[in-house]
Amino acid sequence: MTPSVVVVGAGPAGLVAATEAATAGASVTVLDERAEPGGQLRYRVQPVTSGIGSDAERPDRLADRLLDDALAAGVRFRCDATVAGCFAGLELLLIEEGATSRVVADSMIVATGSTDLPYPFAGATLPGVFSGRGMQILLNTHRVRPGRRFAIIGGASDAEELAVDVMLAGGEVVWSGIAPAPFLRAEGADGVRRLAVGSDHYAVDVIAIAVGRQADPALATMAGTPLAFSPDLGGLVPQIDDSLQSPVRGLFVAGDAAGVGSVAAVIAEGRLAGITAAASLGLASNEDVAAVRAAGGPELTWRLGRRTTLEAVTVQPYE
Amino acid sequence: MEERGESGDHGATRISAHPILGDLPQGPPIEFTFDGAVVVGREGEPIAAALFAAGYRVLRTMARFGDARGGYCMVGRCTDCLVVVNGISNVPACLTPVTAGLDVRIQFGLAENAPEEAAERGT
């Protein structure tokens, strides 16, 4: 029987991991909770560099390209399918249209991406305060701008990208920056009207929190993968080795779920996870794995290098 | 509530033209109601998107202090956008597509305003 691989998450890392494993001869299924494969590439609009193809390109077009490659390699997709849990033996609990089923495979690649970091401050629960990625989904996927004047909390690339997205959508960025939470206060009765930064007040309609992202390896953790802390990789990350393999047999983690990185980095890492999973099933050689690793570029090498020194963190159970 | 039933002055709008994504494609209007008022949505979009485009901001209130929430993550994680849809409570407005004739209501606290569930509980 053909060995099977299940990939959770149809973002850039999951798509290339699936293609790689299917090309090596595995029977591959990709699960994704959204209606359409592509992950982050579906709600971002500014050109990204993928490391495959020389020029930066529109994220949705890159998603189409990666999806076409996966379909051509024989990958099957189950979209609108939420993985709600993972049990012993890599048994997945799947929810589709309110009905549950189970999925079991010989090997599993967790490519579940990242979530926005929270940044709690006074008034941050008011209507009109959104997460940065939520705002990108509203602006770019749904084509809705929930106000005119924006404040963007954040001081790095996610905030910069969102500021440009807001301006592309005809919005006005009134204030953008980072301040210690006690100095920030969102004000308004039943929706944001003002942002106070220290003693300064800005009239705003929307506040977006884009202070950065964190890996979302919950599924790998549920399956028994320990967590490690790595400031370089963006905080708590799954403790996998430099072949992306979890201590849990048959389990691999790739892309933002393993540590937040660029699109090019998560694509290179997805490819490595796909070929490593195939090799673990006897479908690829160590030379094949080494070739993919060597082609991954400097950011992949750097990311994998960070993994060799990770120490697991101990999580105290509730008494 | 200052925002209910009005488009307000906060400049909410559909993005009809976009320098990268181009013009918003035309589609058949999907009419539904929010607390009884008619709202026009676009085919395939979630309830929350249609409500924000129409200028609404408050989607639910919290049980303990009654403070308002209006959606935060837009990916079905945060529970800030739970509304009552056709008498069923706790429906995530950010993920549930608009369909013609939906009866969408603000969810107050623990959704005592969800009639079908109240009927099931026998209260």
Confidence of residue B118 (pLDDT cuts 50, 70, 90): low
Tens of pLDDT, residues A294-312: 999 899 999 999 988 888 8
Neighbours of A46 (CB within 10 A): 14
Average pLDDT value over all residues in chain B: 89
Question: Bridge partners of A173?
Answer: A150
The 3-state DSSP class for residue A273 equals helix
Domain boundaries, chain B: 27-121
ipTM: 0.91
User: Is residue B21 within 8 Å of residue A140, measured between CB atoms?
Assistant: yes
Strands (DSSP E) along A119-268, which ranges?
129-131, 144-145, 149-153, 172-177, 184-187, 194-197, 200-203, 206-209, 213-215, 227-230, 235-238, 251-253
Q: Which of A49-63, A246-260, A303-317 reaches the highest mean pLDDT?
A: A246-260
- pLDDT surpasses 80 at B113: no
> Which chain B residues are closer than 8 Å to A144 by Cβ?
12-15, 45, 49, 52-53
Can you give the pLDDT at residue A269? 97
The 3-state DSSP class for residue A109 equals strand
Can you give the pLDDT at residue B122? 61
Separation between Cα atoms, residue A58 and residue B61, nearest integer Å: 39
The tokens describing B41, both together, are 């949505």
User: Is residue A12 within 8 Å of residue A267, measured between CB atoms?
Assistant: yes
Question: What are φ and ψ of residue A48, in 5° steps?
Answer: -125, 155
- pLDDT surpasses 90 at B108: yes
Question: Given CB atoms, is B75 within the 8 Å cutoff of chain A?
Answer: yes
- Pairing label, strands A107-110, A251-253: parallel
**Positive or negative CA dihedral for B18, A133, A213, A75?**
negative
> Which chain B residues are closer than 8 Å to A130 by Cβ?
71-74
Q: Do A128 and B57 touch (CB under 8 A)?
A: yes
Alpha helices in B4-76 (DSSP H): 47-53
Inter-chain CB pairs, A–B, below 8 Å = 113
The 3-state DSSP class for residue A307 equals helix
Domain at A118-209, CATH homologous superfamily:
FAD/NAD(P)-binding domain (3.50.50.60)
Q: Do A143 and B67 touch (CB under 8 A)?
A: no
Tens of pLDDT, residues A112-146: 999 999 999 999 999 999 999 999 999 999 999 99
CB contact set of A94 (below 8 Å; sequence gap of 6+): A31, A78, A81, A82, A83, A84, A100, A101, A102, A103
For chain A, give the number of residues.
319
Q: Which residue has the higher pLDDT, B46 or A52?
A: B46
- Pairing label, strands A184-187, A172-177: unpaired
Average pLDDT value for residue range A228-254: 93
The 3-state DSSP class for residue B95 equals coil
Q: Do A146 and B67 touch (CB under 8 A)?
A: no
Domain boundaries, chain A: 4-115+213-307, 118-209
From A126, A134, A139, residue closest to B15, measured CB to CB: A139
Q: Which residue has the higher pLDDT, A135 or B120?
A: A135
User: Is residue B10 within 8 Å of residue A205, measured between CB atoms?
Assistant: yes
CB contact set of A75 (below 8 Å; sequence gap of 6+): A18, A19, A22, A28, A29, A30
Separation between Cα atoms, residue A159 and residue A176, nearest integer Å: 8
Can you give the pLDDT at residue B8? 56
Average pLDDT value for residue range B95-120: 86
Tens of pLDDT, residues B42-86: 999 999 999 999 999 999 999 999 999 999 999 999 999 999 999
Class of A4-115+213-307 per CATH? alpha beta
Can you give the pLDDT at residue B6? 37
Under DSSP, the state recorded for A317 is P
- pLDDT surpasses 60 at B5: no
Can you give the pLDDT at residue A208? 98
Among the four given CATH numbers 3.90.420.10, 3.30.40.230, 3.40.50.970, 3.10.20.440, the one describing domain B27-121: 3.10.20.440
Can you give the pLDDT at residue B1? 35
Tens of pLDDT, residues A87-112: 988 999 999 998 999 999 999 999 99
Average pLDDT value over all residues in chain A: 95
- Pairing label, strands A149-153, A206-209: parallel
The tokens describing A112, both together, are 């579940």
Can you give the pLDDT at residue B111? 85
Confidence of residue B3 (pLDDT cuts 50, 70, 90): very low
Average pLDDT value for residue range A212-236: 92
CA distances from A58 to A48, A164, A246, A261, B21 (A): 6, 15, 33, 18, 10
Tens of pLDDT, residues A162-186: 999 999 999 999 999 999 999 999 9
Average pLDDT value for residue range A240-246: 93
What is the least distance, in Å, from the CA of B68 to any CA of chain A?
Answer: 6
Read off the amino acid at residue B10: H
Question: What are φ and ψ of residue A170, in 5° steps?
Answer: 85, 10
Can you give the pLDDT at residue A156? 92
